[in-house]
Amino acid sequence: MVEAASRLTEEELNRDHKSADKSVLGTLVHVFAADRVWYARVTGAPITKFIDESDYQLTVLQTEWPGLHQWWTEYLDTADLSAIISYKDMKGNSHQSPLWQILLHVINHGTHHRGMVAAMMRAMGHAPPALDEIAYFRQLAQ
């Protein structure tokens, strides 16, 4: 989706679609920030804030998201999916969840918002990339 977003004009990238995160860029930043926060929660890393103003640049998503994805991959190579993760939400409330539930949440959250970005792109006359998970796995196999 970031690659597809890079083909949009600045106006299209930031156009307000009257959704929770307003624009294509805003929605992608939201997903990136959530991925980053959940990674910090499961690894015990400190969380400074959800979204920083500097996140609202496509170049940040292009350069930092792949590294975050790699960190997730390396973490999950040895993670115990049944481990109970203790964390605080952004309001400071304490929670405990099995890692497998957190992972399903992160995946579902990203899927939901990629669908929103795809709808925004279609509304602007652009064809989004394939979002089906099987298409992703086929691409990885190439």
Q: Where are the domains of the chain?
A: 2-141
Side chain identity at residue 21, one-letter code: D
Q: Both tokens of residue 37?
A: 């926060």
Question: If you search the block for the tokens 């304490």, which residue do you land on?
Answer: 94
Q: Which run of H or E residues covers position 26?
A: helix 24-43
CB 30 within 8 A of CB 52: no
Q: How far is 57 from 70, CA to CA, in rounded Å?
A: 20
Q: How many CB atoms lie within 10 A of CB 131?
A: 13
Question: Taking the chain, what is the end-to-end CA distance rounded to the nearest angstrom?
Answer: 19
CA distance to 14, 15, 25, 130, per residue, from 10 (Å) = 6, 8, 10, 23
pLDDT per residue as tens, the chain (142 positions): 999 999 999 999 999 999 999 999 999 999 999 999 999 999 999 998 999 999 999 999 999 999 999 999 999 999 999 999 999 999 999 999 999 999 999 999 999 999 999 999 999 999 999 988 898 889 889 8
Task: Decide if domain 2-141 falls under CATH 1.20.120.450.
Answer: yes
Q: Which run of H or E residues covers position 87?
A: strand 84-88
